[in-house]
Structure formats: C-alpha cells, structure tokens
Structure 1
Amino acid sequence: MDELQVAGYYEILFDGESPKEPNQGLIKDFTNIRIYLLREDIEKELQILIFLKANFPEQLSFETRFIETRDYEEAYKEYYKPFSIGKKIWVIPTWEKNEPKVINLWKDQDGIPLFINPGVAFGTGHHETTKLILEYLDELREKDKFAFPTVADLGTGSGILSIGLAKLGSKKIFALDIDPNAVKAAWSNWQDNDFTKEISFRVEESGLDHSLCFESQFDLIIANITFAVLSQNIRHLAKMKSKRFIFSGIITEKKDDFILLLQSHLPGKLIHQKEWNEWWVLDWERNA
C-alpha cells in the first residue's frame, strides 16, 4: 500500500460490534483491510487484486464500493466530547479547550486536563487499553507512587499517554510510533497543552529498534501495543534500560503467554494487573 501510495488504508484487527465466529478469540485469524483509492486509480486497484490473488488465492474475498468523500478531520468532532478518566484526568478536545463551560467542567473538580485532537492517529482515550493505563497512572499519583521523571512511550499514537505522563509529573519523555500521522498528531497535541520548558518531549517515527531506546535510561517504559508486535520485538524490549514496564495492549487469551515471554526475556514480577472487556494493563517490575 505504501509503495502504491494509495489514498489510505487500515487493518481492522478488532471490531467490537461484529459477531464472533465459532471458537474465535477477541481478534480474528483473518482480518479485513480497508483500502481507499481515488475513482481514477484503476491501475492501482488491479495491482492490489493481482497481488492478493497471486499470494492468497484461497483466503481472499473482496468487495468494491464507491463512498462519498467527507472531511474526517471535521466529521469526528461531532462525536468527540470531553470525558473523565479515573478520579482527576479529563480528556478535552483541543477545539473546546477555551470554552468556558468546558473549563469549568474540569476546574470545578480540580481535574487534570489532557487536550487532545486524535486526527487520524490511535488515541482518542476511549479505548479500554488507553483508559486502563491512564487510570492506573492516576492511581499511582493519588498514592504518591508516581516517580517517573524519565519515560519512554512506545507506540504513542496521538500522544495522549505522553501528555498524561507529563501532566502527572514526568519531566523528560521520549515517544515513538511507526505511523507518520501519529508523530505529527503527538507533536501537535503536545504543543496544544502548553508545557513549560522544564518538561521535554521528543517524538520519532520509528519502530522499537530506535537507538535512543537502548542508549537512554528510563524510570518507566509504557507500551500500548498488541501482543503480536510486542512478542516480535521482545529482544528489543529486553535491551531497553528500565526497571519498570507498563503494558496495556494485551488481550485475555494472550496474557499468560505474554507473562511467560516477560519472565523469559525480562525476568521480574507482575506488581499490578487489571482487566476491562478482555483487555489488560500489566505493571512489570524487572529484577535489579
């Protein structure tokens, strides 16, 4: 898709509204890929179909539909409204940050506002994995156990977790994501939150093999990433210099396998776990 420079594409790994097939886990073995092309891109469409038929002749089914072009940047704003997470955190759309009613909403509760415009990046704050990790970080703050000056945010998406970490007390944050749209969204959202120069943020377009992941010492590494990606990059995680890791992209059926993987490559212990709709947040403390 990247080589063809299509208008857009994404893989639908999880669809909560889709009925489950017999013996199906949370994520299907075969997933749909939605590809967006311009009407005149007939040659690209043919190249895609030839590639799929040549490589996956027995697993392939497809349909083509014409859809009305709509400005996604404006369309989703209709449904993205302020909401709270945990006891103090409020996720506020950036376009409503100066609205008096919205300001009073979080200030009346002595809240901690995270101003977010997700754009086309993952990280609206609504997904269970994002809520689980923000709730847990808020709990650590409330118990005076939030002591993570230097943090790495792997798979930052919209940057919502990096911003949450900074609002809760982290001073130096390194974030990365393989999606260039996420990198742009994360940096834009960071600027919309008006941090002082004492708090630094760096975001890079990269996988988990970025040199800074191994060169820097972190008080905490967070990763809202699926088991498939984490398991493929477990050796990279093992080389990262941190005693604490918080993961929140693990589904129930992969949880035990992931803990075994951690015990094998990052020997330590699980100090916190919580489940919500088959998704888990896991706080892993590595042996000294």
Structure 2
Amino acid sequence: MVELILLAPEDCVENVSDALIDELDALSVSVEDADADTDAEHALFGEPGMPAPKAGWQRSVVRALFPDDAAATEAATLLLAQDWAQAVHVQAIQPVPEQDWVRLTQSQFAPVPVTPEFWIVPSWHEPPPGATRVIRLDPGLAFGTGTHPTTRMCLRWTARQSAERRARWNRVLDYGCGSGILAIGAALHGADRIDAVDIDPAAVESTTANAVANAVTLNAGLPDAASGTYALVFANILATPLTLLAPLLCAHVAAGGDLVLAGILERQADALRTAYAPWLALQVSDTEDGWILMTARRPG
C-alpha cells in the first residue's frame, strides 16, 4: 500500500478529492488541516444536521491510498496536469507500514458504563466487575455503539426507570433503531414484545444480529413494521426529524405509556416542547455534554 500526500488550497480540495476517488481509482481519501497544531490552525465547527460554516481549511493535506507506487505516481502526474490544479503540490509518495487493523480498531473501543451495574461491552472484552447487565455490541455500520451521550442517556433512563415501570413495558417501540442498542437495553430490563424499526436496511440487519448476540427477542424491520400503541417509545434521531415525526410518534404512545426522545441539543428544547404540545407535554429528564433527553407520559 502506498500513500500519495498532497497540499491543496481550500478552493481545490473538493476537486482534488473527487478526481482521486472518481477518476484516479484511489482506495481512500482523507483531508486534514495542514496547519493543525500550529498558531495558524483554524477549527471548523458544525452542529449535527447542519453544514459546516466553511467547506474546508485554507490549506489542506489530502492523503490518498493506492495499491502500489506506480498507481500513486500516475495519479499524481495526471492530477497535476489539470489546469485547475496549479496550486496543488505533491508532498510525498511513500509506503504505508502494515498494521493489524483489527487490533487497532478494537483498541479504540473499550467497555462503556451506563450505570455502575449496566455496561456496553465489545465482544473482545470481559465485562468489568460489578456489571450485572451487559450489552454485547461491536462497532458496525449502524449508529449506536453507546459512546454518544444521546445513546447513554436513553439507556440510563431505561435502567433507572425499570424497577418501577418494567411490569408495564409489555410492548416497546425503538423508532430509528440504528444498531438496536435501545431495544436490546429495554429487553435486558424486562421489556417484552419489542419492535425496532429503521429506514436503513443495514440498521435492520445490524439490529437483528445484535439481538441474537445478546440472546434477546425482538422484531426488527422497516418503519411500517411499527403498528398500534406501545407502553414505551424510543426515538434517538435528531431534532428536525423528531419535529416532523411528532404526530406519528405520539400516536404510538399508549395510555399511561412513556415517550423518550434524544438527539436534541439544549437550545432546541423549547422548539421540541412546542412541536409535541398538541399531544404530549415534554420535559427535560437528563443532560450530558450539551445534549438533552426529553420524555413525556401519556395520562391514563
């Protein structure tokens, strides 16, 4: 494996990246700030669901992987021959040291505590002492490995409420299930008859596999698999789709049932309360790192 390293100004980065992937057969392309860790570093901040304020840095390092030196050299030659690439410069063409990528990936994922007794543990780790409930979940294509505050807050709510409410959790819906982690967490805390739905078929497959790995029973499918009312409804998505889904999600909450929403920034709380007010009264039940958990209970 050989890496082609280029230095490109902001207005060329998109063209360079597209050319490397679409026309020059790069195996992968990554872009980073050429001035990182210097006084000239300029951070780009964006919020979930919103575009970054700028498309890139003033100067970017573009790294492209190729199978061999000849392919990398040919790509650099063809790229620099373009009229628009006059400001692009080759910094290096160098071999990439072989690594144990499986071990490297695994080293980045450690057990995640939800509560002192409830943990998310990758399959290659042993559960920590004191963990009485464990979700076995490996990184995959679907969102939801337990490392994000929104996921942890949903699971924490489940763990804290289960002693009082699990007897009523005879039907549960995880809407936008991703990896299925919230559905699995509910099952481990006594919930029954669980539907986990997502618009992404890869998420449905991931949820099914993760349920098997955790020895829990649930029904995973596309959104039309959700029907009727449920004693507990989860939706960990983002504020904009949660707003649009307000009538649908509220219609799925049974009398006496709970709605648990996540993927919401603190500043979005009032907008969500307003969107759900015709059906349910949302309140903030947890906060972590600028994110909030909002819940509501239907009277009955």
Q: TM-score range by the shorter chain?
A: 0.5 to 0.7
Alignment of 1:203-282 (within 5 A): 203-204=220-221, 206=222, 210-213=223-226, 215-242=227-254, 243-264=257-278, 267-270=279-282, 273-282=285-294
When normalised by structure 1's length, the TM-score is 0.67
Verify the 8 A CA contact 2:229 2:251 in the aligned structure 1.
Answer: no
Match of 1:261, as an amino acid?
Answer: A
Moved beyond 3 Å, runs of 4+ = 18-21, 24-29, 37-40, 68-75
Partner of 2:81: none
**CA gap 1:171/1:194 in 2 versus in 1, 3 angstroms:** same
**CA gap 1:278/1:110 in 2 versus in 1, 3 angstroms:** closer
Of 147, 151, 165 in structure 2, the residue corresponding to residue 145 of structure 1 is 165
Q: Distance in 2 between matches of 1:177 and 1:211?
A: 9
Aligned residues: 230
Output one character per residue of 1:72-108: Cα deviation in whole Å (capped at 9) or x when no partner: 7765322111232123211111233xx4xx3xx24xx
Match of 1:165, as an amino acid?
Answer: A
1:172 aligns with 2:193: yes
**CA gap 1:25/1:263 in 2 versus in 1, 3 angstroms:** farther
Match of 1:145, as an amino acid?
Answer: R
Output one character per residue of 1:167-224: Cα deviation in whole Å (capped at 9) or x when no partner: 00001110011222222221111111123xxxx31111x3xxx3343x3221110010
**CA gap 1:274/1:180 in 2 versus in 1, 3 angstroms:** same
Alignment of 1:89-108 (within 5 A): 89-96=118-125, 99=126, 102=127, 105-106=128-129
Q: Distance in 2 between matches of 1:238 and 1:173?
A: 17
Verify the 8 A CA contact 1:268 1:287 in the aligned structure 2.
Answer: no
Match of 2:193, as an amino acid?
Answer: K
**CA gap 1:73/1:256 in 2 versus in 1, 3 angstroms:** farther
Verify the 8 A CA contact 1:73 1:119 in the aligned structure 2.
Answer: no
Alignment of 1:55-70 (within 5 A): none
Partner of 1:286: 298
Greater mean alpha carbon deviation, residues 162-171 or residues 183-192 = 183-192
Taking every aligned residue pair, what percent have the same amino acid on both sides?
24
Verify the 8 A CA contact 1:225 1:248 in the aligned structure 2.
Answer: yes
Output one character per residue of 1:85-136: Cα deviation in whole Å (capped at 9) or x when no partner: 123211111233xx4xx3xx24xx2520111113121111010001111111
When normalised by structure 2's length, the TM-score is 0.65
Output one character per residue of 1:221-254: Cα deviation in whole Å (capped at 9) or x when no partner: 0010101111222232243243321001111121
**CA gap 1:20/1:223 in 2 versus in 1, 3 angstroms:** farther
Partner of 1:57: none
Of 115, 137, 142 in structure 2, the residue corresponding to residue 86 of structure 1 is 115
Q: Distance in 2 between matches of 1:234 and 1:115?
A: 31
Verify the 8 A CA contact 1:26 1:251 in the aligned structure 2.
Answer: no
Partner of 1:119: 140
Alpha-carbon offset, residue 263 of structure 1: 0.3
CA radius of gyration, larger in:
2
Partner of 1:156: 177
Match of 2:280, as an amino acid?
Answer: G
Q: Distance in 1 between matches of 2:103 and 2:181?
A: 20
Output one character per residue of 1:41-81: Cα deviation in whole Å (capped at 9) or x when no partner: x9xxxxxxxxxxxxxxxxxxxxxxx9x89997765322111
Q: Distance in 1 between matches of 2:190 and 2:42?
A: 42
Partner of 2:89: none
SS at 1:169 equivalent: coil
Q: Distance in 1 between matches of 2:201 and 2:142?
A: 9
Verify the 8 A CA contact 1:155 1:177 in the aligned structure 2.
Answer: yes
